[in-house]
């Protein structure tokens, strides 16, 4: 559950942008894009899109093993109001990410050490109203 969370100079006024909801998903190196839901998983998104059989039915689990061996890209564009950007910190909190996840904001990769903790100060990466997050 990704969230943009700002820490204003007045601690009583924390501002939050909830990024749950509709995202897109594609396999790395492929062009096809499907709708995805966050929170969710690659398996549930592929199943909802009719791209894989139900992995819990009969021996279908064997047919979907390739999913765990592929790289997957979730993407979403969102706006950050200008008034958020005057805060001392803008934090991106991601819950439930794979430990091998890579996060990009505005074409800049976040350091791996921040992803493991699930919390990163993104102040320097978020600087205008239109943002891409993937």
Alpha helices for the chain (secondary structure H):
42-48, 60-63, 112-117
Class of domain 3-133: mainly beta
Contact 43, 102 (CB under 8 A): no
Kindly list the domain boundaries of the chain, sorted by start residue: 3-133
Report which DSSP code applies to 118. T
Q: In this predicted model, what pLDDT tens digit does every residue of 50-59 receive, in sequence order?
A: 999 999 999 9
Is the per-residue pLDDT at 68 higher than 60? yes
pTM: 0.74
**In this model, does residue 25 exceed pLDDT 80?**
yes
3 pLDDT exceeds 80? no
Which token pair is 101? 């996840």
């Amino acid at each position: 559950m990704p969230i943009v969370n700002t820490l204003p100079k007045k601690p009583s006024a924390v501002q939050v942008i909830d990024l749950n909801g509709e995202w897109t998903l594609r396999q790395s190196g492929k062009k096809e894009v499907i709708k995805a839901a966050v929170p969710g998983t690659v398996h549930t998104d592929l199943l909802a899109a009719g791209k894989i059989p139900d992995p819990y039915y009969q021996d279908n689990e064997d047919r979907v093993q390739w999913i765990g061996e592929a790289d997957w890209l979730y993407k979403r564009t969102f706006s950050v109001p200008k008034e958020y950007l005057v805060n001392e910190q803008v934090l991106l909190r991601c819950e439930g990410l794979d430990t091998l996840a890579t996060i990009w904001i505005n074409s800049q990769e976040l350091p791996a050490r921040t992803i493991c903790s699930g919390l990163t100060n993104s102040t320097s990466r978020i600087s205008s109203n239109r943002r891409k997050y993937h």
